[in-house]
Chain A
């Protein structure tokens, strides 16, 4: 069964430091997409970054980068220069493909709660 595992329930980081949030996934599909979402205390889901399984380069979006290691089935999120506003829950998600192509649905991990300290 396809599964996303986030092993860090909670993390602390000092303001202006970098932090890595871990994500591993389990799938036998050759094609899939990997996503990271941020959920602040206000509750909305905010898209951060996307990586396709055939993308050779790691995705980057501003201060966010995705460290994609396909052989290890890991898709860690790196946040550089943490800010107080980065304090939130972070979810890793996978979009599987099937014989018909992309399913577009998301399988989520249980999330990591990040607290940025001044």
Chain B
């Protein structure tokens, strides 16, 4: 069965360190997204990609970057982790307009 996975599921890191969160989907979707979830804010879009070599900034992109070298993966990098980036991160993918987004299980990141 097709799926979308994230790793690690939990991560504790120190302020200033570079961190990369992995996202892998086997749906063969071109559209992939990264969101962060914080209390009182719902989910907010960080970055997204419509295909290989395509990346776009979302609502809360400062301090984050993504790269898309193949269809299956969209890793999210925190260049220099800050305490404000403590959050739950969700990766998602979709076939396109009118179709649901499939979400990964989430990564809980704590920056100390």
Q: Residues of A with Cβ closer than 8 Å to B? A: 4, 33, 35, 37, 43-45, 47, 50, 52, 91, 93, 95, 97, 101-102, 104-111
Contact = CB atoms under 8 A, between A and B. Distances in A.
B33 A106 contact: yes
B100 A35 contact: yes
Contact of A33 (B33, B45, B90, B98): B98
25 contacts: A4-B42, A33-B97, A33-B98, A37-B103, A44-B103, A44-B106, A45-B43, A47-B102, A50-B99, A52-B98, A91-B43, A95-B97, A102-B97, A104-B96, A104-B101, A105-B45, A105-B48, A106-B45, A106-B92, A106-B101, A107-B45, A108-B44, A110-B41, A110-B42, A111-B42
A91 B90 CA distance: 14
B58 interface: yes
Contacts of B94: 104
Contacts of B88: 43
The secondary-structure label for the interface of chain A is strand
Contact of A45 (B45, B50, B103): B103
Contacts of B40: 110
B97 A104 contact: yes
Nearest to B40: A110
A86 B17 CA distance: 40
The secondary-structure label for the interface of chain B is strand
Interface of B: 31, 33, 35, 40-45, 48, 50, 58, 88, 90, 92, 94, 96-103, 105-106
Contacts of B106: 43-44
Given A33-B98, A93-B43, A107-B45, 16 more contacts: A4-B42, A37-B103, A44-B106, A45-B43, A47-B100, A50-B99, A91-B43, A97-B97, A101-B97, A104-B48, A104-B50, A104-B96, A105-B58, A106-B33, A108-B35, A110-B40
A102 B96 CA distance: 8
A102 B42 CA distance: 22
A51 B25 CA distance: 25
Q: Kindly name the residue among A35, A45, A95, A107 whose own CB sees the greatest number of chain B CB atoms within 10 A.
A: A45
